[in-house]
Amino acid sequence: MLSYSVKRLLMLVPVLLGMTIIVFAIIHAIPGNPALTILGTKATPEAIHNLNQSLGLDQPLYVQYFTYLKNILSGHLGTSIQDNTSIASEIWPHLAATIELSFVAMVIAVVVGINAGIISAWKQNSVFDYAAMIIALIGVSMPIFWLGLLEQWAFSVKLNWLPSIGRTDIITTVQPITNLYLIDTLLEGQFAQFWMVVRHLILPAIALATIPTAIIARMTRSSMLEVLKSDYIRTAKAKGEHMFWIVYKYALKNAFIPILTVIGLQTGLLLGGAILTETIFGWPGIGLYVYNAIQYRDYPVIQSGILVISFIFVMVNFITDLLYGLFDPRIKYR
């Protein structure tokens, strides 16, 4: 297991290096002079020259890359063109917002998806099965922005049950400790604030959870159907075990590997790909951060945002790989 983890960790090195090269290349893939793009067409030659120098753009490409790599490794992600703030210190609060939202969304997706899938497989061809699978089909095909707008219209505008935008009320400021507000408000003992944060999370989390829930439900169903037909399930029945435990204990652990794969992939996608949901719900996460940067052509921010998102994606997959062994002892870590 340890040798496998080390091996897998070593394999991450070329992946991460490749990632930095691609991200580095982005700024050079923009047609024309980056400085010109940044400063606009009316910039003076002097200003362009100065910017080129300060960005190091007059150096040979490989020198630029190694400088860039050195900066990342020492935690310097550069400064934002838009407001001259340090990206490294700006990015965490945004990332935390995304992590909090994605986490809640994934909890919903896993709990609802797995249970729906299990019951569909257990009661195959029942009304529940058909209904769940039709809903799942709608779930994977539904555009998220549309669902988000529907939610806002129904639960905020019409019913006025839940807030439709932001992480908090405009008037409240949560004292940031970890920047994960669910934790911060509890640490501060601010239970009213905690409830307010929860209420803000519900609508975007449900919108974000829709696709993963549907995908997890479908994967769970097909994986469980396969397992429920197997000989060892028959053995468990022959022992006189109750069907509920056969399904939830014996079958689920076997069916879990493909489900885990899907959960891993979806988690990675949520953490990076929540731009749509975040813009609709005004959620100050990494998606919105990058989205705003794109509008201002704030290339250093875009670059760093993409780097962080891809880094998280790679790490989530790495963790998923390590988790396989927990569910299937046959997976040998060589």
Partner 1 sequence: MSEPLLKVENLKKYYPIKGGIFGKVSETVRAVDGVSFTVNEGETLGIVGESGCGKSTTGRMIMRLIEPTEGSIQFEGKDILNISKSEMRKVRKDVQMIFQDPYASLNPRQTVGSIIEEPMIVHGLGDRKERRERVEELLELVGLSAYHAKRYPHQFSGGQRQRIGIARALAVRPKLIIADEPVSALDVSVQSQVLNLLQDLQKKFNLTYIFIAHDLSVVRHISNRVGVMYLGKIVEISDSESLYDNPKHPYTKALLSAVPIPDPDKTADRIILSGDVPSPAHPPAGCAFHDRCPVAMDICSKEKPVMKEMEDGRLVSCHLYD
Partner 2 sequence: MSETILEVKGLKTSFFTDDGEVPAVDGINFSVNEGEILGIVGESGCGKSVTSLSIMGLLPSPPGKIVGGQILYKGEDISHAKESRMRKLRGNDIAMIFQEPMTSLNPVFTIGEQLTEAIRLHNHLPKKELESRAEELLKMVGLPRARELLKEYPHELSGGMRQRVMIAIAMSCDPKVLIADEPTTALDVTIQAQILDLMAKLNRETHTAIILITHDLGVVAQVCKRVVVMYAGKVVEEGDVRDIFNHPSHPYTEGLIRSIPDLYSKKEKLYTIKGSVPKPGSIKQGCLFAPRCDYVMDKCWTNAPELVGDSHKSRCFLHQEQA
Name the residues that contact partner 2, by CB under 8 A: 230-232, 234-242, 250, 253-254, 327-330
Binds 141: which of partner 2, partner 1, none (CB < 5-8 Å by kind): none
Yes or no: say if 152 and 164 are a contact pair by the CB < 8 Å rule. yes
Q: Which two three-digit tokens encode residue 300?
A: 């250093």
Among partner 2, partner 1, none, residue 10 binds (CB under 5-8 Å by kind): partner 1
Question: Which tokens sit at 217?
Answer: 């439900």
* 3: contact with partner 1 by CB under 8 A: yes
Residue 206 · residue 101 · CB < 8 Å: no
Alpha-carbon distance of 34 to 126, in angstroms, equals: 60
Amino acid at 5: S
The item of partner 1, partner 2, none sharing an interface with residue 235, based on CB under 5 to 8 Å by kind, is partner 2
From partner 1, partner 2, none, interface partner of 334 (C-beta below 5 to 8 A by class): partner 1
Choose the binding region for partner 1 from 6-14, 127-135, 187-195, 197-205 (rule: CB under 8 A). Answer: 6-14
Nearer to partner 2, 158 or 332 (CB): 332
Q: Which is nearer to partner 1, 15 or 131 (CB)?
A: 15
Token pair listed for 93: 């609060």
| 7 is a site residue for partner 1 (CB under 8 A) | yes
Nearer to partner 2, 75 or 240 (CB): 240
∠ CA 272-101-305, rounded to 5° = 30
Report the nearest approach of partner 2 to the CB of residue 332 (Å).
Answer: 9
Q: Of partner 1, partner 2, none, which one sits near residue 68, judging by CB under 5 to 8 A according to partner kind?
A: none
Strand, helix or coil for residue 79: strand
Q: Phi then psi for 79, rounded to 5 degrees?
A: -120, 150
Q: What is the DSSP letter of 166?
A: S
How far is Cα 74 from Cα 113, in angstroms, rounded to an integer? 41
User: Which residues form the interface with partner 1 (CB under 8 A)?
Assistant: 3, 6-7, 10, 334
